[in-house]
Structure 1
Amino acid sequence: MAMIPAAIRRSIQTAAECPRLIRFSLKAPKGVEVEFDDGGVYNLSAEYLRVYSPAADSKIRSVGGEKVIYGRRHVGIMAAEPVGNYGVRLLFDDLHKTGIFTWDYFYHLGSNKFTMMRNYITTLKKHGLSRDPPRRK
């Protein structure tokens, strides 16, 4: 059996393997802070959450076969609506609201934040896109 790289193993953890969320705090409009029972505390910016929203989005630009969200540096979070006892739906000020962020997904985003953000910025640069919104003419 082939060895599974650590990054992939972490991303396919089951709910039973993920630490339990002990605190969720909306820091509107800038982001959220989540804390888990393994001691992990993550401050996640609105831009980062919007870019990695778990929902399909018609505003995503397909560039070279890659789905790329850009121009969201100044996006804000207006509200967080509980979804059962497993996550929240975030309402962003660009009116995106279809993604449900589970507690496990917040843990994944928090524990991989620096790598994921670096990959996002690299992808933008590769396609000549910016984190800043396009200028209106």
Structure 2
Amino acid sequence: MIRAAESAIRSVQTAANTPRLTRISLRAPKSVEVEFDNGSAYNLSAEYLRVYSPAVDSKIRSVGGEKVIAGRRHVGIMSAEPVGNYGVRLLFDDLHKTGIFTWDYFYHLGSNKFSLMRNYLETIKKHGLSRDPKPRK
């Protein structure tokens, strides 16, 4: 119980310390650009956003207990819908649309882009998967 409370406090503190989003720009179909009031700016690819979508859907493979999304190298973003004052829902051309990307989550993805992408590449390699989609029969 105490650990859950400590975790909640840390997540609130982290969110409170996150810079404020000042600009978001959809560069359909390939990326989203975000800028924050601390001067940070990130160009996040559609593949990266799809792999790290905050939603769970039926296209995710669980391999050894790990969340693994493969075959999304060429995925595109078709549209973005605002969600309140805190985020956006992205619609991808593989029809995934259930993840809400908050401004804090965009900052997390941007500021950790290289380590998260490296982890993704290592995970798919470890499981013998590919970034490329499976060929159609």
When the two structures are superposed, what TM-score results if normalisation uses the length of structure 2?
A: 0.90
Percent sequence identity over aligned pairs: 84
| SS across alignment from 1:67 | strand
- Structure 1 residue 28 and structure 2 residue 28: aligned? yes
The root-mean-square deviation of aligned C-alpha atoms, in Å, is 1.4
Which structure shows the higher helix fraction?
2
Tell me how far apart the structure 2 counterparts of residues 51 and 22 of structure 1 sit (CA, whole Å): 24
Give the C-alpha shift of residue 16 in structure 1.
Answer: 1.5
CA 1:39–1:92 in structure 2 vs 1: closer, same or farther (change >3 Å)?
same
Give the C-alpha shift of residue 15 in structure 1.
Answer: 2.4
Give the C-alpha shift of residue 12 in structure 1.
Answer: 7.1
Match of 2:66 in 1: 66
Give the C-alpha shift of residue 13 in structure 1.
Answer: 4.7
Match of 2:116 in 1: 116
Give the C-alpha shift of residue 119 in structure 1.
Answer: 0.3
Tell me how far apart the structure 2 counterparts of residues 122 and 134 of structure 1 sit (CA, whole Å): 19
Runs of 4+ aligned residues of structure 1 deviating over 4 Å after TM superposition are 10-13
Q: Deviations over 1:26-77 (max 9, x none)?
A: 0000010000001100000000000000001111011111110000000000
Match of 1:7 in 2: none
CA 1:71–1:35 in structure 2 vs 1: closer, same or farther (change >3 Å)?
same
Match of 1:6 in 2: none
Tell me how far apart the structure 1 counterparts of residues 122 and 19 of structure 2 sit (CA, whole Å): 30
CA 1:128–1:89 in structure 2 vs 1: closer, same or farther (change >3 Å)?
same
When the two structures are superposed, what TM-score results if normalisation uses the length of structure 1?
A: 0.90
Q: How many residues align?
A: 128
Where do 5+ consecutive residues of structure 2 fail to align? Answer: 1-9
Tell me how far apart the structure 1 counterparts of residues 96 and 126 of structure 2 sit (CA, whole Å): 25
Give the C-alpha shift of residue 11 in structure 1.
Answer: 7.4
The answer (yes or no) to whether the contact 1:11–1:108 under 8 Å persists in 2 is no
1:106 is matched by which residue type in structure 2?
A: F
